[in-house]
Amino acid sequence: MKIAEIINLERYPLNKLDSNEGVEFIGSIRESMQHDGSCTLDQFVSDATRLEMVEQADSLVEFAFPGPSEVSPYFFNYRIGEQYKSDDRHPTQRKGRRNLSQVAADLIPPEHLLYQLYRSPLMTDFLGRVLQVPVYRNQDRYQSLNISVMDSGGCQQWHFDGGNMVTTLLLQAPEAGGVFEYVPNIRTDENENFDMVRSVLDGESSRVKSLNLKPGTLSLFRGHYSLHRVTEVAGLVRRLQAILGYNTQPNFAGSLDSSILHYGPRIADLENSVAG
Ligand SMILES: [Fe+2]
pLDDT of 16-29, one tens digit each?
999 999 999 999 99
Ordered by where they begin, the domains of the chain are: 3-275 (2.60.120.620)
**Cα 63 to averaged position of ligand 1 atoms, centre (Å):** 21
Q: What is the pLDDT of residues 108-128, one digit of tens each?
A: 999 999 999 999 999 999 999
What's the pLDDT band for 52 if we cut at 50, 70, 90? very high
* Separation of CA 18 and ligand 1 centre (Å): 31
pLDDT greater than 90 at residue 86:
no
CA of 187 to the centre of ligand 1 (A): 15
Contact call for residues 185 and 37 (beta carbons, < 8 A): yes
| 96 alpha carbon – ligand 1 mean position (Å) | 13
The pLDDT tens digits of the residues spanning 145-197 come to 999 999 999 999 999 987 777 899 999 999 999 999 999 999 999 999 999 99
CA–centroid distance, residue 80 to ligand 1 (Å): 18
Ligand 1 centroid to Cα of residue 168, in Å, is 9
Ligand 1 centroid, distance to 228 Cα (angstroms): 6
Q: Say if CB 67 and CB 104 are below 8 A apart.
A: no
**CA 32 to ligand 1 centroid distance, Å:** 19
Alpha-carbon distance 255 to 259, whole Å? 7
